[in-house]
Amino acid sequence: MSRRRKNFPEVGELVIGTVKKIFEHGAYVALDEYGGLEAYAPINEIVTSWFHSIKDYLKEGQKAVFKVVRVDRRKGLVDVSLKRVTPSERKSKLFMWKRLQKATRLLNLVAQRLGRKPEEILDIVEDKAVSNFGDLLAVFEVAAKEGIEPLKAASLPQEIAEKIVEVARQYIPVPEVKVSGVLKVLCMKPGGLYEVRETLLKAYEVAKQYGNVKVRVYTVGVPRYRVDVIARDYKVAEKVLEDIVNVVMEEGKRRQCEVSFTRL
């Protein structure tokens, strides 16, 4: 079940809390992921030694990671601990929280562009896509990199999938990879430079067969020419480079040129 549909956290769960009031005996915090549900952090779950003050650890308005230590659903009470959260747990929880916040902003944009309520879009995306991609932000990351097909495979409605891709490609940077090599192309017959040029131009014809791939061919000292292939996926980049080398070698042979390749 989605966390946002739960009224109370579970014991042992890590939660994000905003500190509301601090007293000598403890602090009250609002649990951000549970609609501001009030929780209490006793002093012995905040300070690590008797000579420390609560205010050495918490400030009003501060967001912090807490661990749930007690839940009484009948009375509506939740107790949380600050000191039981390990550094690695804190880092991981904050990382996931930031991802959720970014995904929520992007979903709001999707809803706005569709003229629908954010809660309605969130229901659909969580129910049909999160289990396929891991978390909400991953839906946008996959959309930015691979387009609409994975979203359709996750049974997202066409119009929502299209808007997710649109928003993702506007706001999610997609890391690129580069693979390179050096082609040695030598033509000794008359008009050899023209033959070399025409041979190397085949590299760009190969690139046109692939989407979202950039190819650059430039001299590093005649007769050596460097080929850079930049793509969003390493396997794709390698495949494009392999195809370029094969086509250039075949074209060079047809034009009676000597062609060799060195991988960088």
Q: Are residues 147 and 208 in the same domain?
A: no
Number of domains in the chain: 3
pLDDT at 1 over 80: no
* pLDDT number for residue 3: 46
Structure tokens belonging to residue 11:
């014991």
Supply the pLDDT for residue 134.
Answer: 86
pLDDT at 5: 55
Domain boundaries, position 158: 89-171
Q: Do the Cβ atoms of 30 and 18 come closer than 8 Å?
A: yes
The region that residue 102 occupies, defined by phi over 0 for left and psi between -120 and 50 for alpha, beta otherwise, is: alpha
Q: How far is CA 221 from CA 70, 74, 224, 252, in A?
A: 71, 79, 5, 18
Given pLDDT bands bounded at 50, 70 and 90, which one contains residue 131? confident
Amino acid identity, position 152: K
pLDDT > 60? residue 92: yes
Residue 4 lies in a domain: no
Pair (201, 137) in one structural domain: no
223: pLDDT strictly greater than 50: yes
Same domain for 96 and 58: no
**Boundary residue ending a domain (25, 56, 84):** 84
**Domain CATH for 243:** 3.30.70.1130
Beta bridge partners, 39, equal 29
Higher-confidence residue: 52 or 254? Answer: 254
